[in-house]
Structure 1
């Protein structure tokens, strides 16, 4: 790539000139997206050839995943987003070159491109080029992405009705439940379900909510739907009227709530055992102050909510700290990670520690940064959480990890690039030193207030189970 583009004098543009410049910039963005697709496809090809040379066999799924992870790290994108872009690039550079040409010429947006690729699934190979041409003719008629999506779907269903059942089966296999933290102590819980079943559930919730209103409940229908759903699932108060919260100080204890208690207002049928982690100071726990606590995998919650969760917990684990150094005893040379250290690491890491991965630490695996078989210790500064896929990448040597400082992981990619990941909670290193130094221990945990690699985990993100 050579040359440079400079945009000057924007403050003097007339309305017509601003519109013309905006149109040209849009065409430039589309051209760049086409070039990105070509490079992504090239990256996948290079990884496939290099892996074949290194290990002597071709594994398309593995090479694709490794190439996508490298692209994700370079572009600072979630892994699944990079996989989607690389998958699109593969189709654009092979079976949909006409669509790639339209994107490069600026006649198509990337949203139009994704619709073409999606609606081309399961179309007979011999007829694919003709169907693509028909779709592009409709897209070029000034359709917005949403308008084009509707027309393209109808075209495919009319021309290839037999693909409907195949697509529905494939879509059914993608059903899942997602958790996405929101602001002010709230989170979104959403489910991808078959349309008929989702509509039935929503109708039942609405009917129940209307019934509660008819009986005099002052809550809005939206509030009632949410509260009824939560009550049905957790058997207790859903916290619809919890108070707000502000920034918090250092957490001093981990409360592990094992949600198996019976609620006298609900049926006593067996429910799944679940665990949540709440970091709360002893002072807040016993009501001596009102500092907010932290809900693991979410962030700050109000002290009232934390105390309620603590009351409901079947057990809780204190993190004992030295009065001067805020340290607790280290585990030492044992291979198995004790339960207390597991909870401490879960709170520290928050998510899988691979670059860009947002898999919750609760469903990740604890890995020795320096392998146990090579002399690695079972200490906090040689352990980190990895999801199953990224654990495999590290174990097989495709990605290499080093923990130069406790909790700070430096990764080296197959392409030789290095990336750093920081823990969800930082490690406290200050404090007065006692006359006799204490045994080596686990530093106290402090919140990371800035964004970036140290920001709080969102959800299972782009790597939901199964991996």
Structure 2
């Protein structure tokens, strides 16, 4: 870490290699962070740090030259991590909350690391760099915690013999490898704890397993701040096609002492990792490229100003061919005097050729949730376009009332009148005695929820499911219905996962995981309801 700026956190202190406790002279331990009115330093007696007394044992005044040797700082926070993974039990604060000792350590660390905004400019940069190193080191600790949790979760399922309830002993399952099923639900719980989507939770767990079990040098670079989490993910991703031995060899080739990580940007790092992987096992890299074609897809995500990003993942030659065709057509129309820009022509052509209509919308069902005041009285309350999000009132009115122009066909918009309850703003729907949600209820749920209702998951809705299951006497009603993506709907059915609606101003779901942690998901506000 020589020359990387691991200096004191104040401008007054020398910048040369130590982190000083005096870096934050105004930092005080808030007594309200410790319910017993005292700082429980005896909690740190057995944390393994090479310091003897109270405060120094908890937060050493001076770190060695390497600011994070063997993640000592994390050892302070997570000395009792093994007992705290579940987050519940004797001495805990109830479902979904960490054990008291861990919460106190986090509060103490937060107080100690409060920024000194009165430092000079050099000191401010020093603090920024130190905070970044700490973030990266904590990412390494999260990786270790994730792997430990996943291992124990899988072992628990093996001991129970349930394979997470996904398989039963039937003729079709005899002789099949069920080991992959035993970790089901681990990534989802890690994602919830980190406030991430289940999809990203799976990526983070996969990265963690590779780092902890196969790539110690890359993990060390993350611990010491030479890599951040994003770049670490890229290193792991570019070696995913390699066997264990080859991945370890690439990890050693890219080790921090070779200088590969020093000053490298994301693209440079990806290129270096990709080249190292190709040298070790060119056949696997080639096979990976062939397999990638099977993952071709098209996705849509919101962009600013009522625009969207329509993204196609295609084999290189097909993507080049599509773009070349759009470009040639745009050049032809532009040469003939079309007033639109080349970019506009390409975009319009893509829409027309995909939908088969010049306007690109006729015959497509669009749900626009709008108040009567916005539609009829020029109110400024924004509307909501299902599948996209909030749109300005004037834009919504224009979408509804626009007429034929610029050679486009007239937009035929079908308006659905969606009524909301005066006090809660919830959509008013009807009940059903059937198990499956009828079309009107599905439509209401789709419009109310907009995206998957699992906390932090923004995936499109694929299933309309009972919050309290039908087999547990859950009714087929709007209040007991939720829109979920396919993956989250399957996760919800795993042993130990429960959901229930909870009272609130808007439709709210409480999700409880097998470890006893609880999370809440509230439906987005509809126009006119705040």
TM-score, structure 2 normalization: 0.66
Q: How far apart, in 2, do the equivalents of 1:325 and 1:90 lie?
A: 45
Do structure 1's residue 153 and structure 2's residue 277 form an aligned pair? no
Match of 2:521 in 1: 421
Q: 2:501 aligns with which of 384, 403, 410?
A: 403
Query: 1:89 Cα shift?
Result: 0.5
Residue 108 of structure 1 contacts residue 140 of structure 1 at CA under 8 Å; is this kept in 2?
yes
Instruction: Give, in angstroms, the shift of residue 198 of structure 1.
Output: 1.0
**Could you tell me how far apart the structure 1 residues matched to 2:198 and 2:349 are?**
35
Offset at residue 412 of structure 1 (A): 0.7
Give the equivalent residue in structure 2 for 1:85: 204
For the 8 Å contact 1:347–1:425, the answer to whether it is kept is no
* 1:51-90 equivalences in 2 (<5 Å): 51-57=157-163, 60-90=179-209
**Which structure would you say has the larger Rg?**
2
Q: Secondary structure, in 3 states, of the residue corresponding to 1:302?
A: helix
- The correspondence of residues 170-319 of structure 1 with structure 2, limited to 5 A, is 170-238=291-359, 259-260=362-363, 274-280=364-370, 289=378, 293-298=383-388, 299-300=390-391, 301-307=395-401, 312=411, 317-319=416-418
Q: Counterpart in 2 of 1:373?
A: 471
The answer (yes or no) to whether the contact 1:108–1:139 under 8 Å persists in 2 is: no
In the superposition, relative to structure 1, how do residues 32 and 150 fare at CA in structure 2: closer, same or farther (>3 Å)? same
Please identify, of 321-330 and 212-221, the stretch whose mean Cα deviation from structure 2 is larger.
321-330
Say if 2:429 and 2:444, in contact at 8 Å, map to a contact too.
no
Check whether the contact 1:112–1:139 (CA below 8 A) recurs between aligned residues: no
TM-score normalised by length of structure 1 = 0.75
User: Is it true that 1:46 corresponds to 2:136 in the alignment?
Assistant: no
1:351 equivalent in alignment to 2:470: no
Counterpart contact for 1:333–1:378, Cα < 8 Å: yes
2:238 paired with 1:144 = no
Instruction: Sort the Cα spacing of 1:129 and 1:75 in 2 relative to 1 into closer, same or farther, 3 A.
Output: closer
Taking a change above 3 Å as real, the CA distance of residues 371 and 171 of structure 1, as seen in their structure-2 partners, is same
CA distance in 1, matches of 2:202, 2:135: 20
Distance 1:162 1:45, change over 3 A: same
On the 8 A contact 2:452/2:484 being kept in 1, the answer is yes
CA distance in 2, matches of 1:325, 1:82: 33
Choose the corresponding residue for 2:486, options 375, 388, 412: 388
Counterpart in 2 of 1:459? none
Tell me, yes or no, if structure 1 residue 130 matches structure 2 residue 249: yes
Specify the alignment match of 1:244 in structure 2. Answer: none
Structure 1 residues 125 and 214: CA distance shift in structure 2, 3 A: same
Residue 12 in 1 paired to residue 114 in 2? no
How many pairs were matched up? 395
What is the rounded CA distance, in whole Å, between the counterparts of 1:44 and 1:26 in structure 2? 27
Q: 1:438 maps to what in 2?
A: none
1:375-417 Cα distance to aligned partner (Å, 9 max, x none): 3222211211222222223334432111133721111111111
Q: Is the 8 A contact 1:349 1:425 kept in 2?
A: no
Stretches of structure 1 that go unaligned for 5 or more consecutive residues are: 240-256, 261-273, 427-445, 450-467
Q: Summarize the Cα distance change of 1:304–1:38 in structure 2 as closer, same or farther, 3 Å threshold.
A: same
Quote the Cα distance in structure 2 between the aligned partners of 1:391 and 1:323: 31
User: CA–CA distance in 2 between the matches of 1:84 and 1:320?
Assistant: 40
Calculate the aligned-residue CA RMSD, in Å: 3.2
Q: Provide closer, same or farther for how the CA distance between residues 424 and 56 of structure 1 changes in structure 2, counting only shifts above 3 A.
A: same
1 or 2, which has the higher strand percentage?
A: 1
Alignment match, 2:140:
34
Q: Give the 3 Å change call, closer, same or farther, for CA 158–303 of structure 1 in structure 2.
A: same
Distance across 2 between alignment mates of 1:37 and 1:320: 47
* Structure 2: gaps (5+ residues): 1-76, 78-104, 165-177, 404-408
For residues 400-438 of structure 1, the C-alpha deviation after alignment (integer angstroms, 9 at most, x for no partner) is 111133721111111111111111345xxxxxxxxxxxx
